[in-house]
Homo-oligomer: A and B are copies of this chain.
Amino acid sequence: MSLTPPAIILDAPQLGENIGAVARVMANFGLADLRLCRPRQGWPQPKAFAASSGAHWPLDQARVFAAVADAVADLDLVLAATARPREIPTPAMTAREGASLLAAAAAEGRRTALLFGGERSGLETADIALCRAIVTVPVDPRFSSLNLAQAAAVMAYEWRLTQDAAAPVAFARTETPADGAALRGLFEHLEGELDAAGFFHPPEKRAGMVRNLRALFSRAALSDQEVRTLRGVITALSKGRGRVLAKLAAKRPSP
């Protein structure tokens, strides 16, 4: 077990018991980095510690965030665990394929995580759009409501299986991956320029258009260098053309 296991991010978990059950599962399968976004009952919660059956360390170290975007800021690869099909252009893979992807990334020193939604509400599409891919557990469609800790157990189990097997084959890519903060900077830069250009029209469609653009770039597994390039592209397109027009205007003879 030399690779750094994925972090577990719980978005808006409702019940302390479930947070504790997730911590126990993490300990069972060798995970430790627990991140909580907006826990409904606050943090720390005594019920979580009681439900962990002694697996206190993920809870002791747990960090609380105000938003998923904050929780993923230092991460290179995040997979969204959700059973629900979404109208969002993010690719889906099996739990096993997802675990392989996490292990391959970890073998390259990447920081990875699995993102789980709240017990009732699931994940918001805006947060799924921040993820490289969706991972699904093949549940019976007649009763697809998987308990949070069970979903975490299956994913953590699949992660651990990757560590029992031979070391994963490293991918050819060697660039530094863009982390969540870098992507966020890119998104905000692009969306700010598009706002200035009047691109989002009509206004009520803005949220969906933003989500789809974010999903597209999240899916692309951008490197740090590529994020810088894209920001240069945005700047060039938005400012450069202005400069060209200004030059043309300056050359035009005054009336």
Binding site for B on A (CB under 8 A): 1, 21, 24-25, 27-30, 53-55, 85, 89, 91-97, 134, 136-140, 142-147, 149-150, 153-154, 157, 160-161, 164-168, 170-171, 173, 175, 190, 193-194, 196-199, 209, 212-213, 216-217, 219-223, 226, 229-230, 232-234, 236-246, 249, 254-255
Contacts and interface: CB of A to CB of B under 8 A. Distances in A.
A213 to B, nearest CB: 7
7 contacts: A54-B145, A97-B167, A137-B157, A149-B150, A197-B239, A213-B233, A237-B238
A145 B28 contact: yes
Given A157-B157, A199-B233, 16 more contacts: A21-B147, A24-B145, A25-B147, A28-B145, A28-B150, A30-B140, A85-B170, A89-B226, A93-B167, A94-B167, A140-B160, A193-B241, A198-B243, A220-B220, A238-B241, A254-B255
B216 A219 contact: no
Main secondary structure of the interface of A (DSSP, over half): helix
A141 to B, nearest CB: 8
A149 B249 CA distance: 60
Contacts of A168: 85, 92, 136, 138
Contacts of A89: 173, 175, 223, 226
Contacts of A139: 28-29, 160
A220 B216 contact: yes
A142 B27 CA distance: 8
B199 A240 contact: yes
Contact of A212 (B1, B21, B229): B229
